[in-house]
Amino acid sequence: MAQVFTTASPQASTRGALAGRDIRTLLLASLGGALEFYDFVVFVFFALPLSHLFFPPGTAPWLAQLEVYGIFAAGYLARPLGGIVMAHFGDRQGRKRMFTLSVFLMALPTLAIGLLPVYASAGLLAPLLLLVLRVVQGAAIGGEVPGAWVFVAEHAPRGRVGFACGCLTSGLTVGILIGSLTAAWINHHLSPEQVLAWGWRLPFLLGGVFGFIAVWLRRWLSETPVFAELRERKALSRELPLRTVLAGHGGGVLLSMAVTWMLTAAILVLILMLPTLVQKSFGVAPQQAFLGNSVAAFCLGVGCVAYGWLTDRLGAARALLTGSVALVAVTYALFDDLAAGGAHFLALSALAGFLVGSVAVVPTVMVAAFPAAIRYSGLSFAYNVAYAVFGASTATLIGYLAERAGRMAPAHYVAVTAAVSVAAALWLMVSRTWRDRLAAMG
């Protein structure tokens, strides 16, 4: 099998700017990704009412919350299975088909969660159904994120792959912002009793509608030029794509997993978990905590676009290096400020969110790690396995570390993952093979 590391079509590779067709593809892919990612993350914003409604009334609050977080984690554990299966067909039958299927598979369970009976009316069937639907959501997102990165990277002109991946990643993170704002609006306008009675259903029903809108939007996308060329030249993988990845691209898998660890830590700790952490460990008022989260999520979207642009200007290795170092500094500044009373909480949350945007460099590195014929499978396997391992264990690990390292434990954890990312960036800079692969995109 030819080792093709090209990401853009031959026609696109000579262009230095995004054409109207490229901008349309980016907008449709990013908007669809935002709607689908909203469906996946909104669960965590309503973990508390779900813990009351889907478990026996006599369950201790801490145990019920732990159980609902376990169901949330099940979505992460299901990601590799969905990602591997969809990536296989994405490498063999086309990127666009799987790109559309993933969002359809997300819309159905999200809508169904909003219609589920609760424990009071269905007994143990209620949490079991919630678990099954969450697993389907996880399988869908496992195919969505890697597929989206491959899709936009292979549509992007030469020298614009970083920006394209940054815009798509920004679109995904906008889904977090939509979820945060939806949760804030519902909790502000409805009483706790109304939220428990019916208000918790609204974000899932809305998410189902969002999902079907995303399916409709993706009808207007075209197959990537890279896959179309592979199919025309009959250069598609003749073997099982994942077998080829594991047999000949172990280095790409390990590097992709290393940078994904930093991505999971930054997103989970500094965006998704931060509202709970600052309330529990630092006594920040709930309204202030969620305001800081919304500000950080907005700045994350901006940061993703900025770091995507920077990737095309400085190169992926330098952008990853500078972003990782800056992220460590601001994370410690944020937690030091919280320990001192949180006088600058909102400003530092905004800055931290922007620097979390450095994760937008990660997809460019992973796209370069695998040749086109097995790119979807390689990226999906590395990303989803790493996300399953690190994503599912992060909350428990931070709780464990907090008992020994105190309330600065989340900052220490982010720092460790960023150090791994720095090592990966330095390797990219000194390895001639990796320099050549990244240069092929710029």
| Residue 4 within a domain | no
- Structure confidence at residue 17 as a pLDDT band (50, 70, 90): low
pLDDT score at 2: 45
Which of 64, 208, 199 lies closest to 127 in space, CA to CA?
64
**Whether 379 contacts 7, CB under 8 Å:** no
Burial-class residue 282 by CB neighbours within 10 Å (0-12, 13-18, 19+).
middle
pLDDT score at 11: 42
Range of the domain at 22: 15-439
**CA dist., res. 99 & res. 327, Å (int):** 31
State the angle between helix axes of 125-155 and 61-77 in degrees (0 to 180), rounded to the nearest 10. Answer: 40
**Mean pLDDT on 301-305:** 95
**Mean pLDDT on 189-208:** 91
Consecutive H or E run containing 132: helix 125-155
Burial-class residue 287 by CB neighbours within 10 Å (0-12, 13-18, 19+).
exposed
| Residue 426 within a domain | yes
Q: Tens digits of per-residue pLDDT, 57-84? A: 877 777 776 777 788 778 878 888 888 8
- Residue 208: give its domain's CATH number: 1.20.1250.20
Q: Is the pLDDT score of 403 beyond 80? A: no
- State the Cα torsion 215-33-175-200 to the nearest 10°: 30
Please tell me the least confidently modeled range out of 38-52, 307-321, 376-390: 38-52
**Mean pLDDT on 403-408:** 80
How many other C-beta atoms can be found within 10 angstroms of the C-beta atom of residue 18? 19
Q: Is the pLDDT score of 363 beyond 90? A: yes
Q: Is the pLDDT score of 20 beyond 80? A: no
pLDDT score at 352: 96
| Residue 173 within a domain | yes
Q: Show Cβ contacts of residue 126 under 8 Å, excluding neighbours closer than 6 positions.
A: 53, 54, 116, 117, 118, 119
| Residue 5 within a domain | no
Q: Is the pLDDT score of 442 beyond 80? A: no
**Mean pLDDT on 354-376:** 93
Q: Tens digits of per-residue pLDDT, 109-127? A: 999 999 999 999 999 899 9
**Mean pLDDT on 396-400:** 75
Q: Is the pLDDT score of 426 beyond 90? A: yes
Q: Which residue has the tokens 């959501």?
A: 137
- Name the domain count of the chain: 1
**Mean pLDDT on 323-346:** 95
| Residue 6 within a domain | no
- Structure confidence at residue 19 as a pLDDT band (50, 70, 90): low
- Structure confidence at residue 217 as a pLDDT band (50, 70, 90): confident
Please give the biggest Cα pair distance in the chain: 66
**Mean pLDDT on 136-150:** 88
Q: 136: which 2 tokens?
A: 């389907």
| Residue 9 within a domain | no
| Residue 351 within a domain | yes
| Residue 431 within a domain | yes
- Structure confidence at residue 256 as a pLDDT band (50, 70, 90): very high
- Structure confidence at residue 1 as a pLDDT band (50, 70, 90): very low
Q: What is the mean pLDDT of the chain?
A: 86
**CA dist., res. 161 & res. 167, Å (int):** 10
Q: Show Cβ contacts of residue 211 under 8 Å, excluding neighbours closer than 6 positions.
A: 35, 36, 39, 103, 104, 106, 107, 108, 110, 111
Q: Tens digits of per-residue pLDDT, 229-250? A: 888 887 787 788 889 999 989 9
pLDDT score at 291: 87
